[in-house]
């Protein structure tokens, strides 16, 4: 799951996977802005067939937050 | 009344501090629970947006929101944030980018950011956006007083 999510982030943001770790912060470390963030959220929704609620987006700050969120949704 | 500042290669904080210092109000800066900065003394409202390498800042006497974005097209984002009616009207990158900056400037005006749900911002029903094209970018401004101050 972790590798899959990192790979998807790298592909959507067009950055090397090596730049992304579990504790990487999307905004502070990768410089994501709103459009990138929504693009990423839409990619996760498509890949995992889940809905990420608008109110939850602000809580997805690190790669680990995303992994935990998707794992929880997939249960 | 609002005034728009656009600068290249400065951080949001640098531009904000620079402009607020000239207005002698930088020491009143606080943030709401969604991270929107505002001034404790409410005579001045402002909002900031950033799209590499530009930072835009609007200062107003009324509540205001601004967004800048480089002209682009993101299909997945369009499907997620646009209403069916809006989707029908998006034919070009310019259309998509204008739609995006309108939605963003509105939720930034409200002060809750993405939590509001961009699909809930129906740009066909909300009027009075100011749209400016700047190089390869679009800027949208939404607020309670959208008369631009003369420079």
With contact defined as beta carbons under 8 Å apart, do A23 and A64 qualify? yes
What pLDDT, on the 0 to 100 scale, is given for residue B26? 64
User: Does A14 contact B at CB distance below 8 Å?
Assistant: no
* Nearest CA distance, B114 vs chain A (angstrom): 6
Report how many Cβ contacts below 8 Å link chain A to chain B.
Answer: 44
Cβ-Cβ contacts under 8 Å, A37 against chain B: 114
Instruction: Provide the pairing of β-strand B29-31 with B130-134.
Output: unpaired
What dihedral do alpha carbons A26, A67, A45, A24 form, nearest 10°? 10
Three-state SS for A8? helix
- Write the CB contacts of A54 (distance below 8 Å, at least 6 apart in sequence): B114, B115, B116, B117, B118
Closest residue on chain A to B77 (Cα)? A39
Mean pLDDT of B48-73: 94
What pLDDT, on the 0 to 100 scale, is given for residue A75? 56
Does B72 or A1 have the greater pLDDT score? Answer: B72
Give the Cα separation of B104 and B13 in Å (integer).
Answer: 20
What pLDDT, on the 0 to 100 scale, is given for residue B27? 64
Report chain B's terminal Cα–Cα distance, integer Å.
12
The yes-or-no verdict on residue B38 having pLDDT over 90 is: no
pLDDT in tens, A18-58: 999 999 999 989 989 899 999 999 999 999 999 999 999 98
With contact defined as beta carbons under 8 Å apart, do B66 and B137 qualify? no
Give the Cα separation of A63 and A70 in Å (integer).
Answer: 11
Does B34 or B97 have the greater pLDDT score? Answer: B97
- Test A34 with B113 for CB contact under 8 angstroms: yes
- Test B114 with A46 for CB contact under 8 angstroms: no
Burial of A73 (0-12, 13-18, 19+ CB in 10 A): middle
Is ipTM strictly over 0.95? no
Share of chain B above pLDDT 70, in %: 95
Share of chain B above pLDDT 90, in %: 63
Q: What is the mean pLDDT of chain B?
A: 90
The yes-or-no verdict on residue B80 having pLDDT over 70 is: yes
Mean pLDDT of B71-83: 96
- Nearest-by-Cβ selection for A43 from B50, B76, B81: B76
With contact defined as beta carbons under 8 Å apart, do B108 and B67 qualify? yes
The yes-or-no verdict on residue B87 having pLDDT over 60 is: yes
A2-74: CATH number: 1.10.1200.10
Does B145 or A48 have the greater pLDDT score? Answer: A48
Identify the band that residue B10 occupies on the pLDDT scale cut at 50, 70 and 90: very high
* Nearest CA distance, A38 vs chain B (angstrom): 6
What pLDDT, on the 0 to 100 scale, is given for residue B57? 96
- Test A58 with B114 for CB contact under 8 angstroms: yes
Enumerate domains of chain B plus CATH numbers: 2-143 (3.90.470.20)
- The residue ranges of every structural domain in chain A are 2-74
């Amino acid at each position: 799951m972790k590798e899959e999510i990192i790979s998807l982030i790298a592909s959507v943001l067009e950055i090397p996977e090596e730049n992304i770790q579990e504790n990487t912060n999307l905004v502070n470390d990768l410089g994501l802005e709103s459009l990138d963030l929504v693009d990423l959220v839409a990619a996760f929704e498509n890949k995992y067939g889940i809905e990420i609620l608008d109110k939850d987006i602000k809580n997805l700050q690190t790669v680990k937050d995303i992994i935990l969120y998707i794992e929880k949704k997939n249960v | 009344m609002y005034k728009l500042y656009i600068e290249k290669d400065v951080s949001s904080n640098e531009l904000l501090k620079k402009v607020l210092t000239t207005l002698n109000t930088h020491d009143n800066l606080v943030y709401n629970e969604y991270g929107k900065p505002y001034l404790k003394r409410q005579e001045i409202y402002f909002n900031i947006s950033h799209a590499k390498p530009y930072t835009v800042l609007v200062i107003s006497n009324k509540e205001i929101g601004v967004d800048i974005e480089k002209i682009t097209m993101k299909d997945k984002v369009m499907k997620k944030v646009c209403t069916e009616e809006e989707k029908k009207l998006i034919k070009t990158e310019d259309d998509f980018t204008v739609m995006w900056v309108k939605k963003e400037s509105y939720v930034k005006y409200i002060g809750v950011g993405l939590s509001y749900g961009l699909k809930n911002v129906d740009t066909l029903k909300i009027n009075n956006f100011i749209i400016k094209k700047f190089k390869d970018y679009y800027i949208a401004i939404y607020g309670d007083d959208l008369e631009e101050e003369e420079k």
